[in-house]
Amino acid sequence: MITLYDYLPSQNAWKVRQLFKLLDQSYQQEFVSIFEGEGHSDAYRAINPWGAVPAIRLEDGRVLSESNAILWYLSEGSPYRPVDRFEAAKVMQWLSFEADYVQTSVGSLRYWALTDKLDTRSPELIAGKRAIAERALAILDDELKSRPFIAGESMTIADISLFAYAHRANEADIATNALPSFLAWTDRIRAHRDFLAEMHPYSIDPHSSGEL
């Protein structure tokens, strides 16, 4: 059975939990207490050199990290990853967009806001991330005017990946009420019969006020 190295409040880890649910695939979890430094132990760095969750260990012992690479690996042969070369590349385009522009803006701002760290970040840093977040969400809204899912007519791993942080933008004090196509897309994802509604607040971890 595959092992997921997990930290419950992580939306990057939620992406993988969501895909396992869509695939109806069993897995076991090993929890990594990232705020207590477990991610930076030698043992965990052998699993993910960066020290972050999520990561997976396959039955044969090989390990893989970076949430979007894990989604790519697990989704092979499933409806959530197209086979057609161009359609698959479109999914990759949006996975890269997520990693470069959404995760690093909405994800960071949300994490700082929910763990009381905004005051310790410079106003310039926060303003820069906010500008990227707003631009990325506006692009998603614009793209989603012409199709139901970000890479085409059906839900793919690109939607799972983008949804993870983008739909929590309000927690980073980024308004989405003027983005109707974006909001309709979040509703479509939530309406999937195997949508994983269970997400976990940082407040379940008494250590989350610390720095990583």
Task: Provide the binding-site residues for ligand GSH, judged by CB under 6 A.
Answer: 7, 10, 12, 34, 39, 51-54, 66-68, 99, 212
Min dist. Cβ of residue 146 to ligand GSH (A): 27
Min dist. Cβ of residue 177 to ligand GSH (A): 26
Tell me the three-class secondary structure of the chain, residue by residue: CEEEEECCCCHHHHHHHHHHHHHCCCEEEEECCHHHCHHHCHHHHCCCCCCCCCEEECCCCCEEECHHHHHHHHCCCCCCCCCCHHHHHHHHHHHHHHHHHHHHHHHHHHHHHHCCCHHHCCHHHHHHHHHHHHHHHHHHHHHCCCCCECCECCCCHHHHHHHHHHCCHHHHCCCCCCCHHHHHHHHHHHCCCCCCCCCCCHHHCCCCCCCC
Q: Closest CB to ligand GSH among 39 and 82?
A: 39
Q: Closest CB to ligand GSH among 4 and 151?
A: 4
Q: Closest CB to ligand GSH among 10 and 75?
A: 10
Residue nearest to ligand GSH (CB): 52
Min dist. Cβ of residue 108 to ligand GSH (A): 9
Min dist. Cβ of residue 179 to ligand GSH (A): 23
Min dist. Cβ of residue 140 to ligand GSH (A): 18
Q: Closest CB to ligand GSH among 67 and 186?
A: 67
Q: Closest CB to ligand GSH among 145 and 207?
A: 207
